[in-house]
Structure 1
Amino acid sequence: MTDITMIEAARARIGNRARATPLLSSPFLDEIAGRKVFVKPECLQHTGSFKFRGAWSAVSALAPEVRARGVIAFSSGNHAQGVALAARMHGIAAVIIMPADAPKLKIENTRAFGAEVVLYDRENEDRDEIGAHLATTRGLTLIRPFDDPQVIAGQGTVGLEIAAQARQEGIETADVIVCCGGGGLIAGVALALEAHAPGLRARPAEPEGFDDTARSLQSGRIERNARLGGSVCDAIVTPQPGNITFPINARLCGPGLAVSEEEALQAMILAHNRLKIVVEPGGVVALAAALFRKEEIEGDSVIAVCTGGNVDPEVFSAALSRYSHV
């Protein structure tokens, strides 16, 4: 089980290979939210997503003889790119299983990092079964996108940075809103905050209709989404919380927040116009929640983690045309 010791060890292994992303702010966003908004732009991370952290942590933790045989992962794009780059940096092979409807940019980028891409139908095929089969037949090590202790440890380095940055800003209490799919990032962040910034509370943000973590936290048991696709927030659409991540999040996280696709797209353009960063729809739901669910948030400050920036140009262009006034 992931703990703070594993997170700090992951930080030591990662070293300067991952970017330490800043906390950004804008008075325009503060006015909308009714409080001070700090944004952690993991869209500026290598591969355009926080996922590089967990990928490097997991790959680097493998025994050398195991790592040499190669790795396999399944992802809608951001974990795919993180594992592909981490594998290339280690000089090993990577096979990535991706949904056929993943954004073209993510598929192309994953191939550009040197990985072999295997596409599947997310509505009718089980990516876990595909991954397990290929891992067994090819002798590859499966790096899961969130339900992997070393992946969670790597993602927890985001929380270590937030804890240190919050101290610098004089923030002692605040909600830390995190875009949530399977729950690996928020689990790592929550563990890091528990150890180093106990006044900060991690809270998941999800798209409406795909708020399995919020519903699971409320019911106390793992809840499943009725649909497995069809959201512009593809990066964080997962069937249900992870078996490893959920107990961590159930113990440490505050109530979940859900936002509409329209709110996510509007927040994406606000991030571009006011912070000069490009964030994908699934990566901006935490900021959308900070801006548009202010009545559900307590305190004078809120921290939102923008988790990825790998948006197709067509999606970004359409949103920019629609919300250029914000």
Structure 2
Amino acid sequence: MRLLWLRRWGSVPRSQWIALAALCLVAVAAMVTTVWDGDVEYPFGMLVPLLLAVVFLDNRIMSWFIGVEIALVATIAVGWGQNAIEVACLVLVVLLCLLVLALVLRDRPIGVTARRGESMLVDLRDRILAQGQIPELPDRWLVESSLSSAGGSPFAGDFVVATTRERGRRLEMALVDVSGKGEAAGTRALQLSGAMGGLLGALPPDQFLSAANEYLLARRWAEGFATAVHLSLDLLTGDYEIRAAGHPPPVQRHAGSGRWELLPTEGMILGLVEGVQYDGVRGRLARGDALLLYTDGMVEEPRKDIDLGIDAMLGTTESLLRGSWDGMARRLTAAVGSRDDDRALMLVHRR
């Protein structure tokens, strides 16, 4: 318990503790002023320190101030309340305090510090999206990726890394789903995307996921696992290799028959076991063929079998196709999948 207390409160900046002490003094001053003036009928001066706390205090210590505020308001009500109207005004202040406390306990973002946190997450998201930008490819290839966060959050734990090698002949792409949510997942995703971006262009395809697994193990994160799928595509011949680590199976659409084929990729989740080797599935994209690589948020929902989720995704893809693959990744992530989980998709189409 002592370690948990230190981990929770020890990370609060000193400036926040100073702000807490100052606002507690302001609240005491507001109470003394209210009692001294005898103007308890309109004790809304007690709202001033509460509003300041909402603006400037971190959620982690807001509950401390709310406790002080409620205690001071109760002191005024018991010791100096003159009639029902005066007490009702004080009760209103207490209810506002409890509303703020409820938001804090639910980890809802409030105040300036919350806006700074949201701004940081947006910056993390923009950096990850920049690292996953698809390189310029020949016109005969269409490659798209789309990310959608759970509940409209400004940040998603899924990300894409992509690069070309062999003088632009081979495309290397990886779609990754990092464990956890929120700010912690954001910082891990940013660090992992940078490392994977470096590994992707430096290692042979059969060594990429193994190296990513060792990197995650070395980090020793509390929630240090991730799932991933890696595609290595020859842009001249259409030959490809796909390896997966805990991801649902990729699917290929054969233009000649119009049928979808599930590619049997299996592999251990990244960051759990040392020395894992990942076997690849080889195939070829003929003219008109397409590949879909996606995270579990696209096909998994509570009390619903994943096979049914894959069938629903493929059926929606056919209904959205209408002769053109352009923009399909964005349309598909908006149409299917769980709204309570991050959703990500990579589309590769040989025109």
Q: Which has the higher strand share?
A: 2
Q: Return the TM-score normalized by structure 2.
A: 0.26
Instruction: Give the structure with higher Rg (CA).
Output: 2
Which of the pair has the greater relative contact order for Cα pairs under 8 Å at 6+ separation? 1
TM score, norm. by length of structure 1:
0.27
